[in-house]
A and B are shown apart, each in its own frame.
Chain A
Amino acid sequence: MLLTCPYCGLRDQSEFTYRGDANARRPSFADESIEAHAAYVFDRENPSGLHEEIWNHTSGCRNHIKVVRNVTTHEVVSCEPVGPFAKALKRGRAT
């Protein structure tokens, strides 16, 4: 399987580390409730078909990317940057 790192280009999956469901969102930092955190940490939709997930280009630029992938066919639909440099990269592309 190949993923396109928005910073480095098309790379083999073995350069990346899987970080799981991109829709598992941490509650706001002020929130200290068990309920909200348990949902964040333990509960997963685990859909078949399209799945949004975070990967880290660990053996490359170490940036995180959001991948949309069909988990039934392993077809990679899109790879988008996330994190502090994401905006800058998108701006850079637009110009």
Chain B
Amino acid sequence: MSGVRLTLRPGVGTSIDTDKTLTFSFDGKSYEGHVGDTLASALLANGVDIVARSFKYHRPRGIFSAGSEEPSALVTLRSGARQEPNIRATEIELYEGLEARSQNRWPSAKFDLMAINQLPGKAFAAGFYYKTFMGTPGMGTKFWWFCEQFIRRAAGLGKPTVDPDPDHYARMNAYCDVLVVGSGAAGIAAAKRAASAGARVILCDESAEAGGSLRSACEYLDGEAAQDWVKRELAALAEHENVRVLSRCTVQSMFDGETYLAIERVADHKLRPAPHEPRQRAWTIRTTSAVIATGAIERPMVFGGNDKPGVILADAARRYAREFGVSPGRSVAVFTNNDTGWLAARDMARCGVIITAIIDTRSDVGDAIREAGAETRATIHTGSAVLRAKGFQTLSAVEVADFNETTNTVGSNRQIVACDALAVSGGWSPAFHLTSQQGGKHLTSQQGGKPVWDSELQAFLPGEATSNWHGAGAMAGKFGLRQAFRSGEEAAVLALADCGLGEGESSVPEIEGDSIDYAPAPVFEVRSKHKAFVDLQHDVTADDVRLAHREGFVSVEHLKRYTTLGMATDQGKTSNVTGLAIMAEARDLPIPEVGTTRFRPPYTPVALGAVAGEKFGHLAAERLTPMHDWHVANRAGMYANGPWLRPESYNGPGETVEQAYIREARAVRESVGIVDVSTLGKIDVQGPDAVEFLNRVYSNGFAKLPVGKARYGLMLREDGFLFDDGTTWRLDEHRFLMTTTTAGAGRVMEHLEYHRDVVWPDLKVALTSVSDEWAGVALAGPKSRAVLENLFGAKPISNDQLPFMGVRELKLGGIDVLIARLSFSGELAYELYCGAHCGQGLWDALMEAGRPHRITPYGLEALSTLRIEKGHVAGPELNGRTTPHDLGLSGMVSTKKNFIGKALLQREALQSEDRLQLVAIKSVDGQRIRGGSHLVAGNRDEPGISQGHTTSTCFSPELNCYVSLALLERGKIRHGEKMFATNPVRSAHVAVEVVSPHMVDPKGERMHG
């Protein structure tokens, strides 16, 4: 093929601006094109014929289509961090400085050594991987593993970058009454009609310019050239206050509830996005109804060598001539089985393309069509077929044979027609990909969703609608401009009815131009002994389809999966129906009985970053406590605890985390420490039945909790396993403040709300999450009371006024403070809550009041250390697999009342003493017990099986050794036993002694003091 720019004049090159020249490079060589060109049209204009190589055989590939259906012309666009592999040259708009390279070839697209893959020829047929590379028994995996390295490197298409994407993406939500997909004749008609009825309309088109087939049409609409008509109508639509026109915006998927995902390519037609401009924008469009007017995709014919650069779809060739003023070759032959091929030839000839021959499988061709053929001055071969394309690398001639329409076979009459481009048309496949994504059956319909074969058009049409969408134009089998306009309006009326809107006004233009038959002859393949391709990207041949048939892979899905037909980056847009037809012939079945596979979203490949949208890079909100800035300013290392960031430890200069937490924990035991507990879940529980509700959701009793007291409560799941724990404070007869674990806050709230609403709607109780409303500070250590006395005076803090588990309200300056005397560390301790906006004030006041006692802020590590020493359980022990009894909390399980989880807690296996039970272990050889250790009986070399595992480990300043809480089989009766905490993945094996989990102050004298 040797494409060439035609003489540009009115009607030739309607989409390009010849006054504006752009420079671009392909494979390092510099070329020129015009504004309005695609990379494909510009490459064609510059005579670049081989632009890519196929996936498997590395055969040369040229430009095959003019749109998003392109299987062949894949290039790598841009470089560096913006490098994008597998971009279709037919879709990318030319811009100044565009840089593209061919891919999947070495050293070049023109001369690719990897084409050696063609040598084994038929050995590389479909399914060959499954039959070999197995190696010898015993080492099979290794042999495949070895081969796979090479196969993986040879496979794949373009090269990805390892640099982070420098661009950003945006996300939009949009709502409308009628979404119109596609702005060809049918789409414009539908949008106009819907808008005229007052509907809110969104009109999307994947191209930069609207118009679809109108952009290259020769027809006159209301006496105006189609291109001018489109421009005017589009401008009018865009002006309409109810209409939003989105160009470069492909509607990719149809989801449930009339929700559509569309991707707008905001800046892909530029060298780089403008500052602050997103590269692409993902639109979530929620509509009441939709008109799908996505047109049709031309099918090729299958014949020998049909993959050669130079073979191009007929309508694409016509578009290149009309819109871009480019001829696909110096002499172009046309091969068709329908009238559209002839009109393409005529339109091309009118643009100055030299048409040498028109070859049609049909012998019976209408007079009007013959006239169109005569206008091209080409030799006409009716009742003939192209048997094969000839030429080294690119097309130089075709071999034409006489064709028997009844047997679909060629005769012996052969002649060679010289040409360097062959425009082929095998009929049209409606593009109902979007609606097919829904699949399945509809409630009110038996047939819904499944495509229906139209034997006249030799094509599948979309099945019955499964939701509020209406097909229009070629997508619905309504070919030709007249039908497109009419069906567009009809679809709009149906969509308007879905919205409960009136019918609007009709405004179909008067159309001057051809009126032709779009139905092709039922010919899909011209059989010969030459290699003929069905799927151009994946190199699936017609013989591969027949091989699949021979080996029993006859269902459509098996055909697809076994041969990889239709699984390339074009998802078989130009090859699926042809593949089916060949299988149908092999099975001797009508095509629809072979079936179709469901199209899967997206319609065309979508940048992952566009779907990720703004979430890119920071996919979850960070939750910060009111005192966050103070922590950071005071050298806290912050630790992600669920969505929260919490101080891990406050690291003094040169201090390690371990040194810091040991210092902090020691300070608590010796004097006083302060810790931010704002992250705890807090739920306000109110109502006359609040106490009854709590009594049902906690395993221990809450009925008798007096006002002004707090109680530690255990919550079980309905299946009897521990769910969450925390203290609940009775502030009033009918008012409680419940605290939950930090991680459990959300799920506890949902659990409570579910039981209140769904299970016990008769209980009068209101639940409000107040986690964010309260800031929380815990003060712990023997001097904690002294600190509070500094602030509040001695009396309110005295043991009488505020006993262990007591709760009271106090004022600190203008701040209302709730104080509860609770202890997680086992020391005398308090929790103080105040409004979140006063949190820092309270913190500062406590720090100031604690100065004489060298008050020490402590982080999660010290908090954890203190509770481990005390044997208090937390998240790692509440792992969803433990019961109260396992953790030594049987006393918290009421026998006097029912509660959530009680029944299933009685299940036999949960009552077993063989279960893993909570113990503590102490390192007896001075080695550190590291997280994730298992408890075993044996030495490092023969550890034996796991008898349990550690849950929370630390260095205990109080015991001066490494300790850990652990879950051990029958642990309760094994205190004193010597074992090993083994940690092979961390290369540790520590001698330990099993002890009671209550390692510090087992009688609880300190916190009660």
6 nearest A-B pairs in the assembled complex, by CB-CB distance = A83-B757, A2-B257, A37-B903, A1-B256, A64-B757, A74-B256
Q: Which of A27, A33, A82 contacts B758 (CB 8 A)?
A: A82
Judge whether B257 and A76 touch: CB under 8 Å: yes
Check A82–B761 contact: CB distance below 8 A: yes
Query: Residue of A at shortest CB range from B718?
Result: A41
Is A34's CB under 8 angstroms from B904's CB? yes
* Residue count of chain A within 8 Å CB distance of chain B: 37
Contact B255–A1 (Cβ < 8 Å)? yes
Residue in contact with B760 in the complex, picked from A13, A29, A74, CB distance below 8 Å: A29
Smallest Cβ distance from A25 to chain B, in angstroms? 8
Cα of A37 to Cα of B910 in the assembled complex, Å: 15
Which positions 59-77 of chain A face chain B at CB distance < 8 Å? 62-64, 70, 72-77
| Contacting residue for B903 out of A22, A31, A73, A77, CB 8 A | A31
Given A54-B754, A84-B757: A34 in contact with B903 (beta carbons within 8 A)? yes
Known A73-B466, A75-B443; 19 more pairs at CB < 8 Å? A2-B257, A2-B259, A2-B286, A12-B259, A13-B256, A19-B750, A19-B754, A29-B760, A34-B903, A34-B906, A37-B903, A38-B904, A38-B907, A41-B719, A54-B754, A56-B750, A56-B753, A70-B443, A83-B757
Contacting residue for B898 out of A2, A19, A30, A38, CB 8 A: A30
Binding site for A on B (CB under 8 A): 255-259, 286, 440-443, 466, 696, 718-719, 750, 753-754, 756-761, 764, 898, 902-904, 906-907
User: How many Å from the CB of B362 to the closest CB on chain A?
Assistant: 43
Cα–Cα, bound, A41→B564 (Å): 45
Check A44 for interface membership: any CB of B closer than 8 A. Answer: no
Q: Are B750 and A75 in contact (CB under 8 A)?
A: no
Q: In the complex, are the beta carbons of B257 and A37 less than 8 A apart?
A: no
Measured CB to CB, the closest approach of chain A to B971, in angstroms, equals 26
- Are B442 and A73 touching (Cβ within 8 A)? yes
Q: Which residues of A contact B906 (CB under 8 A)?
A: 32, 34
Using CB atoms, name the residue of chain B closest to A3: B257
B441, A73: Cβ atoms closer than 8 Å: yes
A70 contacts across to B, CB distance below 8 A: 443
User: Which B-chain residue is minimally distant from A83 (CB atoms)?
Assistant: B757
Residues of chain A lying within 8 A (CB to CB) of residue B258: 2
Quick one: closest B residue to A28, CB to CB? B898
User: Are the CB atoms of A40 and B718 closer together than 8 Å?
Assistant: yes
Which of B259, B719, B754, B761 makes the CB contact (< 8 A) with A84?
B761
Nearest chain B residue, comparing its CB with the CB of A2: B257
* Partner among B750, B898, B903 whose Cβ is within 8 Å of the Cβ of A36: B903
A78 within 8 A of B: no
Measured between beta carbons, the chain B residues less than 8 angstroms from A58 are: 750
Residue pair A56, B259 in contact (C-beta under 8 Å): no
Q: Please state if B904 and A41 are interface contacts (CB–CB under 8 Å).
A: yes
15 contacts between A and B (CB under 8 A): A1-B257, A1-B259, A2-B257, A12-B257, A22-B758, A29-B760, A29-B898, A32-B906, A33-B903, A41-B904, A62-B753, A73-B466, A75-B442, A77-B443, A82-B761
Closest to A35 in B: B903
In the complex, what distance in Å separates the CA atom of A31 from the CA atom of B761?
18
Question: Which residue of chain A lies nearest to B901 when distances are taken between CB atoms in the complex?
Answer: A37
Q: Are A64 and B753 in contact (CB under 8 A)?
A: yes
Does A26 sit at the interface, judged by CB under 8 A?
yes
Task: Please list the residues of chain A having a beta carbon within 8 angstroms of any beta carbon in chain B.
Answer: 1-2, 12-13, 17, 19, 22, 26-27, 29-34, 36-38, 40-41, 54, 56, 58, 62-64, 70, 72-77, 82-84, 86
Q: In whole angstroms, what is the CA distance A32 to B750 when docked?
A: 23
- Which residues of chain A come closer than 8 Å to B441, judged between CB atoms? 72-73
- From residue B672, how far is it (CB to closest CB) to chain A in Å? 40
Set of chain B residues within 8 Å of A31, measured between Cβ atoms: 903
Given contacts A34-B906, A73-B441, contact A12 B286 (CB under 8 A): yes
Chain A residue numbers with a CB within 8 Å of B696 are 29
For B757, the closest partner residue in chain A by CB is A83
Closest CB in chain B relative to A91 CB, distance in Å? 15
A residues less than 8 Å from B259 (CB atoms)? 1-2, 12
Contact with B443, one of A1, A54, A73 (Cβ below 8 angstroms): A73
Q: Is the CB–CB distance between B286 and A37 below 8 Å?
A: no
Which of B255, B286, B757 gathers most chain A CB within 10 Å? B757
A41 and B221 CA atoms in complex are apart in Å by: 67
Given contacts A12-B286, A32-B898, A74-B256, contact A54 B758 (CB under 8 A): yes
Q: In the bound complex, how far is the Cα of B754 from the Cα of A63, in angstroms?
A: 9
In the assembly, what is the distance between CA of A83 and CA of B719, in Å?
A: 23
Do residues B761 and A17 form an inter-chain contact, with CB atoms below 8 A? no
Cross-chain contact A34 with B907 (CB below 8 angstroms): yes
Known: A36-B903, A73-B466. Contact between A64 and B257, CB under 8 A? no
CB distance from A33 to the nearest CB of B (A): 6
CB distance from B716 to the nearest CB of A (A): 12
Chain B minimum-CB-distance residue to A75: B443
Contact A83 B761 (CB under 8 A): yes
Chain A contacts for B903, CB-based, 8 A: 27, 31-34, 36-37
- A residues near B754, Cβ cutoff 8 Å: 19, 54, 56, 64
Given the interface pairs A1-B259, A2-B286, the reply to whether A26 lies near B904 with Cβ below 8 Å is no
> Which of A37, A40, A54, A74 lies at the interface centre, i.e. has the most chain B CB atoms within 10 A of its CB?
A37
Chain B residues near A2 (CB-CB < 8 A): 256-259, 286
> With a CB–CB cut-off of 8 A, which chain B residues contact A41?
718-719, 904
Contact of A32 with B759 in the complex, beta carbons under 8 Å: no
> Which residue of chain B has the shortest Cβ distance to A27 in the bound complex?
B903
Report yes or no: B440 in contact with A72, Cβ–Cβ below 8 A.
yes
Q: Which residues of A contact B286 (CB under 8 A)?
A: 2, 12
Residues of A within 8 A of B904 (CB): 34, 37-38, 41
User: Contact: B750 with A63, CB < 8 Å?
Assistant: no
- Across-interface contacts of A1 in B (CB, < 8 A): 255-257, 259
A26 to B898, CA, bound (A): 13
- From A62, A73, A83, name the one whose CB has the most chain B CB atoms within 10 angstroms: A73
B660 to chain A, nearest CB (A): 38
Contacts of B758 in A (CB 8 A): 19, 22, 54, 64, 82-83
A-side contacts of B760, CB under 8 Å? 29
Please measure, in the bound complex, the distance between the C-alpha atom of A37 and the C-alpha atom of B258, giving whole angstroms: 40
**Docked CA distance A52–B976 (Å):** 55
A77 to B442, CA, bound (A): 12
Distance in angstroms from A69 CB to nearest chain B CB is: 10
CA A17 to CA B443, docked complex, whole Å: 25
Instruction: Please determine whether B257 and A73 come into contact, CB atoms closer than 8 angstroms.
Output: no
Residues of B within 8 A of A27 (CB): 903
> In the complex the two chains form, what is the Cα distance from A72 to B441 in whole Å?
8
Q: With the chains together, A84 CA to B753 CA distance in Å?
A: 11
Question: In the complex, A73 Cα to B449 Cα: how many Å?
Answer: 11
Assuming the contacts A2-B259, A37-B903, A73-B443, asked whether A17 and B757 have C-beta atoms less than 8 A apart, the reply is no
B440→A73 contact, CB < 8 A: yes
A17 to B255 CA separation, bound complex (whole angstroms): 18
Q: Which residue of B lies closest to A42 (CB)?
A: B719
B750 x A37 contact (CB < 8 A): no
Chain B residues whose C-beta falls within 8 Å of the C-beta of A75 in the assembled complex: 442-443
Residue on B nearest A76 in the bound complex, by CB: B257
Q: Closest Cβ of chain A: how far from B969's Cβ, in Å?
A: 24
* A18–B286 alpha-carbon span in the complex (Å): 21
For A37, what are the chain B residues with a Cβ–Cβ distance below 8 Å? 718, 903-904
A48 to chain B, nearest CB (A): 11
B940 to chain A, nearest CB (A): 42
How far does the alpha carbon of A76 sit from the alpha carbon of B461 in the complex, in Å?
A: 27
Please measure, in the bound complex, the distance between the C-alpha atom of A45 and the C-alpha atom of B444, giving whole angstroms: 23
Contact A84 B718 (CB under 8 A): no
Q: With the chains together, A77 CA to B443 CA distance in Å?
A: 10
Shortest Cβ distance from residue B787 to the other chain A in the assembled complex, whole angstroms:
39
> Measured between alpha carbons, how far is A26 from B899 in the docked complex, in Å?
12
**Nearest-CB distance from A19 to chain B (Å)?**
6
Min Cβ gap B126→A in Å is 34
Residues of chain A contacted by B750 (CB below 8 angstroms) = 17, 19, 56, 58
Asked whether A63 and B757 contact (CB < 8 A) given A1-B259, A30-B898, the answer is: yes
Cβ–Cβ < 8 Å partners of A30 in chain B: 898
* Identity of the chain A residue whose Cβ is nearest the Cβ of B448 in the assembled complex: A73
Complex-state Cα separation, A31 to B760, whole angstroms: 14
